[in-house]
Amino acid sequence: MSNFDVIVLGSGPGGYVAAIRASQLGLKVAIIEKESLGGICLNWGCIPTKALLKSAQVFEYLQHAEDYGLKAEGVDKDFDAVVKRSRGVADGMSKGVQFLMKKNKIDVINGYGKVKTGKKVVVTTEEGKDTEYSANHIIIATGARSKELPSLPQDGKKIIGYREALSLKKQPKKLVVVGSGAIGIEFAYFYNAMGTEVIVVEYLPNIVPVEDEDVSKQLERSFKKAGVKIMTSSEVTKVDTSGDGVKVTVKTSKGEEILEADIVLSAVGIKTNIENIGLEDVGIITDRDKILVNDFYQTNIPGYYAIGDITPGPALAHVASAEGIICVEKIAGMHAEPLDYGNIPGCTYCMPEIASVGLTEKQAKEKGLDIKVGKFPFSASGKAKAAGNPDGFVKVIFDAKYGEWLGCHMIGVGVTDMIAEAVVARKLETTGHEILKAVHPHPTMSEAVMEAVAAAYDEVIHL
């Protein structure tokens, strides 16, 4: 039996980052992975979807070349080549993680891992061979998968999850997307941009329901303008896959409607991978499909930890990475600060992009806070107009008494690269006046942040 200081179960953005940080701190580390290094995010999530979305954006630019005084005749797409490029990007990134494992002298153990009592892990290979390993600390980072609804059972062909949506052999002519969170919306944008007829069905009153209502309404306008049909306050009650395509029965406020499509993409959330990994045998407590942990990701059983999607925090790659680093630094005896879950940025990479952090306007009002709200549209931004991307805005929310930056919400081209300003400023407890007096370069998309702050304080110049 091999002994380690730390064994990490799962190699996603939580697991592999935790393993590298542990190695940097001088610990002997092993990581266990049953599929490909990098986990879902790198192989079947964040990275390959962004590759698909980039292809869609380039295709859209080419189709609108005349808007820029250019000519691009006979523009077409090769769906197979687009998917192949996406898979190639993911494979390349996975090889990059393999390199990082070697560079940091981390033992990679391939197989299915289960935790046992006594700080042990049993790994079963594809051939069925079991090997036992022990460690002083075991970090569980097994992530999540596509959630299935009883009314929407996935068969991998006509009713699919995100994995199949990334690697379809043939582009569907008509697609129904159920759920309008980040996954559903990104695929809705991609397939619509590539020429598929897309219908989005959302149970709640607004698409991207976790976002500020102004952002949700703007995205709905942009999507409808692009030809995407949006059905909110709607519920899929039944699917019929007996024919050539799929018939989807949707309950709406006006009654039932039957939608016909080639494929249905179920994007209704995620299900954590906590079954059959030994939690019950060890006695690790779970609640509502999540492993319960303290501020430093320790479970109720000493020596066992959990990070990422399997814990109660937001199921985001950058959250998992941050949790992994905090967990390992605490294990190593460093002074580690608990993660501020109120300052976690969220990004959706459709077109226009969405990025946000902190409280929405509605949440701030529900807390009874006296607030100042500023909004600056990209239609008034020289850079956005010159780039041909005037849709969207930056919205900021401040505490009226103290100037605390309570929330920032953006929708527009490139905003996922802009939100970090708000995250860092909130971390440093920067006030609205300090942002207002920090000179922003012109012409840039980022100066819309300064302009939105100016609007909140009745000092806006360009609006």
- What residue type is assigned to position 34 of the chain? K
Instruction: Choose among 440, 443, 363, 463: nearest CA to 408.
Output: 363
Beta carbons within 8 Å of 129's beta carbon, 6+ residues apart: none
User: What whole-number distance in Å separates Cα of residue 257 and Cα of residue 178?
Assistant: 14
> Is 66 assigned to a binding site?
no
Q: Which two tokens stand for residue 250?
A: 């949707």
283 annotated as belonging to a binding site for a ligand: no
Is 269 annotated as a binding-site member? yes
Q: Provide φ and ψ at 73, rounded to 5°.
A: -95, 150
| Ligand-binding site membership of 179 (annotated) | yes
Which residues are CB-contacts of 314 (< 8 A; sequence separation ≥ 6)?
Answer: 341, 344, 346
Looking at residue 440, what DSSP letter applies?
P
DSSP string, 269-316: -EEE--TTSSHHHHT--EETTEE---TT-B-SSTTEEE-GGGSSS---
Query: Does 78 belong to an annotated binding site?
Result: no
71 is in an annotated binding site: no
Cα separation, 11 vs 162, in Å, equals 19
- Is 182 marked within a binding site? yes
Distance CA 247, CA 158 (A): 10
Contacts (Cβ under 8 Å, ≥6 apart) of 56: 189, 190, 193, 194, 351
Active site residue 442: yes
Biggest distance spanned by C-alpha atoms of the chain = 69
Overall residue count recorded for the chain in this entry:
463
- Give CA–CA dist 364/370, Å, rounded: 8
> Is 346 annotated as a binding-site member?
no
144 is in an annotated binding site: no
List 64, 433, 442, 462, catalytic entry: 442
Residues of each annotated binding site for NAD(+):
179-186, 202, 269
Residues of each annotated binding site for FAD:
50, 113, 309
Tell me the catalytic residues. 442
Residues of each annotated binding site:
50, 113, 179-186, 202, 269, 309
